[in-house]
Amino acid sequence: MATGMRGLTQFIADIRGARVRELEEKRINKEMANIRKRFKDGNLDGYQKKKYVAKIIFTYILGYKVDVGHMEAVNLISSNKYSEKQIGYLAVTLLMHENSDFLRLVVNSIRKDLDDNNEIHNCLALHAIANVGGKEMAEALAEDVHRLLISPTSQSFVKKKAALTLLRMYRKHPDVIPAEEWALRIVSIMDDPDLGVVICVTSLVMALAQDHLDAYAVCYQKAVDRLHRLVVDHEYSATYAYYKVPSPWLQVKLLRLLQYYPPSDDPTIRSVLHNVLQVIMNNSAEPTRNVQHNNAQHAILFEAIGLAIHLDTNSPLVGTAAVLLARFISSKETNVRYLGLDTMAHLAARADSLEPIKKHQGTIILSLRDKDISVRRRALDLLYSMCDVDNSELIVGELLRYLRVADYGLREEMVLKIAILTEKYANSYKWYVDTILDLISAAGDHVGDEVWYRVVQIVTNTEDLQEYAAKVVFEHMKSPSSHESLVKVGGYILGEYGHLIANSPGYSPLEQFQLLHAKSQFCGAPTRALLLSTYIKWVNVFPELKPQLINVFERYRHVLDSELQQRACEFYAIASRPEEDELLQNVCEEMPPFPPRQSALLGRLNRKQGDTEDKRTWVIGGKEANLERQASKRLTVMTTGAARLSNGSTGVSQPDSASAQDITKTLAGLDFTTSPDQAEAPGLQHASSNLSTIKVPPVVAGPNVDRWFDKLTYSADGVLYEDIQLQIGVKSRYHGHLGQLAIYVGNKIGVPLTSFTTTMHVSEPEALSVTFAKMPPTMIAPRTQTQLLLHIECNKFFRTPPVMTVSFLAGSHQTLSVRLPLVITKFFEGVKLGPTEFFERWKLIGGPPREAQSIFPITLNAAGHIDMPKHRQVVSGLRFDILDGIDPNPTNIVGAGVLHMAVEGKVGCLMRLEPNREAKLCRVTIRSTSEDVASEVQKLVQKPLTTES
**pLDDT, tens digit, for every residue of 769-784?**
999 988 888 899 999 9
* Region 94-120 average pLDDT: 88
Asked which of 272-281, 582-591, 701-710 is least confident by mean pLDDT, the reply is 582-591
- pTM higher than 0.85 for the full model? no
Residue 229, judged by CB atoms within 10 A of its CB (0-12, 13-18, 19+), counts as middle
**pLDDT tens readout for residues 731-749:** 999 999 999 999 999 999 9
pLDDT confidence of residue 709: 93
Nearest residue to 378 (alpha-carbon basis) of 321, 336, 324, 440: 336
Candidate ranges 87-96, 253-262, 608-617; pick with highest mean pLDDT: 253-262
In this prediction, what percent of the chain has a pLDDT beyond 90? 38
Any binding-site annotation on 207? Answer: no
Q: According to the 3-state scheme, what is the secondary structure of 310-340?
A: HHCCCCHHHHHHHHHHHHHCCCCCHHHHHHH
Mean pLDDT of 603-611: 60
HSE at residue 19, side-chain half, CA atoms within 13 A, is 0
pLDDT in the model for residue 646: 47
- Residue range 825-946, CATH number: 3.30.310.10
Whole-number pLDDT of residue 599: 66
Domain 703-822 has CATH 3.30.465.10: no
**How confident is the model over 639-694, as pLDDT tens digits?**
544 444 444 443 333 434 444 344 334 333 333 333 333 333 333 333 333 333 34
pLDDT score at 543: 83
| Residue 68 or 285, more confident | 68
pLDDT digits (tens, 9 = 90+) for 908-947: 999 999 999 888 899 999 999 999 999 999 999 999 888 6
Residue 6 is labelled as binding a ligand: yes
User: For position 925, what pLDDT does the model report?
Assistant: 94
The counts of H helices and E strands in the chain are 39, 16
Contact 930, 910 (CB under 8 A): no
* Closest-CA residue to 779 (of 758, 755, 815, 750): 755
pLDDT at 604: 66
Of 416, 405, 386, the C-alpha closest to 325 is 386
pLDDT at 949 over 50: no
Cα–Cα separations (whole angstroms), residue 837 to 210, 832, 833, 845: 61, 10, 6, 12
Q: What is the mean pLDDT of residues 427-452?
A: 83
Q: pLDDT tens digit string along 461-517?
A: 888 888 998 998 888 888 877 788 888 888 888 888 888 888 888 888 888 888 888
Q: Where are the domains of the chain?
A: 387-588, 703-822, 825-946
Fill in the amino acid letter for 242: Y
Instruction: Tell whether residue 54 is among the known ligand binding residues.
Output: yes
Q: Is 478 annotated as a binding residue?
A: no
pLDDT at 742: 95
The predicted pLDDT at position 517 comes to: 85
Task: In whole angstroms, give the CA distance from residue 908 to residue 739.
Answer: 19
In the chain, what's the furthest Cα-to-Cα distance?
123
Q: How far apart are CA 344 and CA 348, in angstroms?
A: 6
Q: Is 872 annotated as a binding residue?
A: no
| Cα distance between residue 419 and residue 489, in whole Å | 15
Beta-carbon count within 10 A of 44 CB? 15
Are 748 and 783 contacting, i.e. CB atoms less than 8 angstroms apart? Answer: yes
- Name the pairing type of β-strands 738-747 and 785-794: antiparallel
Q: Is 846 annotated as a binding residue?
A: no
Count CB-CB contacts under 10 A for residue 281.
19
Q: What percent of the chain has pLDDT over 70?
A: 89
C-alpha pair distances (Å), 304 with each of 284, 479, 666, 795: 11, 52, 44, 34
Long-range residue pairs from 580-583, CB within 8 A, at least 24 positions apart, any chain: none
- Asked whether residue 2 carries a pLDDT value surpassing 70, the answer given is no
Cα–Cα distance between 366 and 285 in angstroms, integer? 25
Residue 889: band (very low, low, confident or very high) from pLDDT cuts 50, 70, 90? confident
Distance from C-alpha of 761 to C-alpha of 822, rounded to nearest angstrom: 12
Confidence of residue 535 (pLDDT cuts 50, 70, 90): confident
Fold for 387-588, please state it: Leucine-rich Repeat Variant (1.25.10)
Q: H/E element holding 396?
A: helix 392-403
- Residue 7 annotated as part of some ligand binding site: yes
Average pLDDT, integer, range 85-110:
87
The mean predicted confidence, pLDDT, of the chain is 85
Does 369 belong to an annotated binding site?
Answer: no
Inter-axis angle of helices 248-258 and 195-211, to 10 degrees?
Answer: 20
